[in-house]
A and B are shown apart, each in its own frame.
Chain A
């Protein structure tokens, strides 16, 4: 079963607000995660500059040798990206579903400060359920 390795959520300014590791080899410490997230934010912006036609909204899929990276940018500018095994299906639907969870459990939480790191238990619980492989398969129907 194709696996999801990790999930990142970046705020409008490029700061990491959420990171979930579902099984990468080799620990990435917090500072590295922050750097990787900011780097991704910048690369996403630069890719729009290099577009040969108008209307580019940034990188949606990056394919590397050992992983794929799917990115979804919401209208306000929050980016959700997931690192998964090459060829994992239904990642776009998963990202949109995670965005729904984000709006429900994070944004509607009155104690949550916007753009700050996410510390919402219900969001974590639902997210863990969502990334389990059988649920991902269901999303694709």
Chain B
């Protein structure tokens, strides 16, 4: 599996939009680990530089999926730990919460991973993530000029996304 797409430069963070946004940041990755979109609305703390941050995030999710597939108490037949799972194969997690943030995760059958980092008291965002995927399909996938696997630069998508995320309680 080829990861991180060679010398692809991750998109630089968008200029933070108006406050009042509940979300901290958002990532979209494709199945090869290329970061298609990184949006930042409210992030006071930057621990690592953007490249490392994206890789760490992707790595964390990859490993957590492997962990949940192995730890699944309901399915008797589990693969070995560390074996890459196909999208939809094995038990996958949909969110985790720490004391300072909540991370919601959704993986589509095509391997697109959408990650939303919000305030820890946020509720279940699965429906919101599905809506965001709908926005992605409408504004990005259906754009004839968009090259799949490259960072997303669509203005319409960014505006619609900002508006929608602001409305998530």
Contact = CB atoms under 8 A, between A and B. Distances in A.
Q: Do these two chains really belong together in a complex?
A: yes
Interface of A: 5-6, 23-26, 28, 32, 35-36, 39-40, 42-43, 46-67, 69, 83
A55 B98 CA distance: 10
A6 B91 CA distance: 16
Interface string B14-43: 000000000011000000000000000011
Q: List the 9 closest A-B pairs by CB distance, nearest first.
A: A26-B76, A24-B73, A5-B73, A52-B24, A64-B93, A52-B43, A62-B96, A56-B100, A66-B74
Given A57-B99, A61-B96, A40 B67 contact: yes
A113 to B, nearest CB: 28
Contacts of B43: 52-53
B75 A60 contact: no
A36 B73 CA distance: 13
Interface residues of B, number: 41
14 contacts: A28-B70, A43-B67, A47-B98, A50-B103, A57-B100, A59-B96, A59-B97, A61-B96, A62-B64, A63-B94, A65-B91, A66-B74, A67-B73, A67-B74
A56 B101 contact: yes
Contacts of A64: 68, 72, 91-94
Contacts of A24: 73
A20 B68 CA distance: 18
B71 interface: yes
Contacts, number: 125
Contacts of A6: 73
Contacts of B53: 50
A55 B74 contact: no
A57 B71 contact: no
Contact of B94 (A5, A35, A65): A65
Contacts of B98: 47-48, 51, 56-60
Contacts of B94: 63-65
Given A52-B25, A52-B45, A67-B72, A47 B93 contact: no
A66 B81 contact: no
Nearest to A62: B96
B54 to A, nearest CB: 10
Contacts of A54: 44-45, 100
Contacts of B78: 26
Given A26-B76, A50-B57, A36 B47 contact: no
Nearest to A3: B73
A64 B56 CA distance: 20
B154 interface: no
Nearest to B120: A60
A54 B100 CA distance: 8
Contacts of B91: 64-67
B63 interface: yes
